[in-house]
Structures are given as structure tokens and as C-alpha cells.
């Protein structure tokens, strides 16, 4: 897992207007690419119930730091039972399956962090037959995200979403 120093670097970068603008531009590109394909979203909430639907979301540490900054500023709602679920966790968590099933920001089946959700959330759709272009789009923008870290001289950390959020909270 990342060190406290890594988290501090990502946190500082996330507060920089240049990084903020770069991430927003990259995410807008992902949205536009997905929009061109016109996938169907039935707002079933399946995409954010990871254990139930056997699906994992991976993100970078910089994305988590930026996301948490936006969530704090915009006071995004979190799922009411989430705090109790994470307090019941036995640490260290050895497998994503030990983590709460859903994302903390999914409230009543909807994303309360829609405007600042990470790359993986923007490109994942559960509609059958969309897997190939999702993978290609994901790889294209993940490569750009990686290049942004290199450009900024930031450490690169790639991690499972819920575990990364817990780790960032522990380091805060």
C-alpha cells in the first residue's frame, strides 16, 4: 500500500489548480468517448455493489485524493450505514471481499458523487456487449492518467477503490 508520504504528495497535487484542471479535462474526455458509444444505463446501481456483482473498481491514489477533496467541498452524501460497516472491519483487510459491498457514495442506488467520480466509474457500464470498447477506452485514458503522474513527478499508485479510500482516511 502507499506510504503516508505518497498520500501527502497526492493530496497536495489534488489541491493544485493545474492538476484540478488536468483531471477535469481528462474526465471530460472519458465522458465524451463513452457518450459516442451511447451505452444504456438503467440506473440499477449494480456497478457500485462490488461484491454482489463480482466487479472491482481500480483507481490511482491521485484520483482518490482529488475525489476526497471534491467530496469534502461539495459535502457529497454517503450511504448511511457505511460508517458502521467500516468500524466492524477487522484490519488489515486481506481481500476486497472483506470490504463493504457498496461504494460509500452510492445513496438510494444512485451516485452522489457523479460530477467527480473516478475514471473507472465513467467508463463502466453493465450493458452486455460493451466490454470491448470499455476496455479500450479505459486503457487509453488510464495511459493518459499515468502520463500525468510522470509529467508532475508524482508517485504512481493503483489500487482497489474501497481499500484505497480506507487507506487514505487512515493516513489523513
Residue 47: CB minimum distance to ligand SF4, A: 6
Q: Which of 121, 145 has the CB closer to ligand SF4?
A: 121
Sole residue written with cell 477503490: 161
Q: Which of 20, 79 has the CB closer to ligand SF4?
A: 79
- Give the Cα separation of 149 and 26 in Å (integer): 13
**Binding status of residue 162 toward ligand SF4 by CB under 6 A:** no
Footprint on residues 69-128 left by ligand SF4 (CB under 6 A): 103, 105-106, 111, 113, 117, 121
Local structure of 102: helix, strand or coil: strand
Total of residues contacting ligand SF4 (CB under 6 A): 10
Binding mask 40-69 for ligand SF4 (x = CB under 6 A): -------xx--------x------------
Q: Which spans of this chain sit near ligand SF4 (rule: CB under 6 A)?
A: 47-48, 57, 103, 105-106, 111, 113, 117, 121
Amino acid at each position: 500500500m502507499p506510504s503516508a508520504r505518497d498520500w501527502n504528495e497526492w493530496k497536495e497535487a489534488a489541491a493544485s489548480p493545474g492538476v484540478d484542471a488536468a483531471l477535469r479535462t481528462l474526465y471530460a474526455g472519458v465522458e465524451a468517448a463513452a457518450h459516442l458509444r451511447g451505452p444504456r444505463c438503467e440506473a440499477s446501481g449494480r456497478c457500485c455493489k462490488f461484491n454482489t456483482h463480482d466487479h472491482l473498481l481500480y483507481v490511482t491514489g491521485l484520483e482518490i485524493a482529488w475525489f476526497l477533496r471534491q467530496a469534502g467541498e461539495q459535502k457529497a452524501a454517503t450511504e448511511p450505514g457505511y460508517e458502521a460497516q467500516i468500524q466492524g472491519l477487522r484490519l488489515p483487510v486481506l481481500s476486497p471481499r472483506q470490504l463493504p459491498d457498496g461504494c460509500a457514495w452510492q445513496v438510494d442506488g444512485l451516485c452522489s458523487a457523479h460530477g467527480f467520480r473516478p475514471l473507472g466509474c465513467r467508463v463502466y457500464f453493465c450493458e452486455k456487449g460493451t466490454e470491448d470498447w470499455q476496455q479500450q477506452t479505459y486503457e487509453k485514458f488510464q495511459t493518459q492518467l499515468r502520463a500525468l503522474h510522470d509529467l508532475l513527478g508524482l508517485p504512481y499508485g493503483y489500487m482497489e477503490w474501497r481499500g484505497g479510500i480506507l487507506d487514505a482516511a487512515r493516513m489523513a
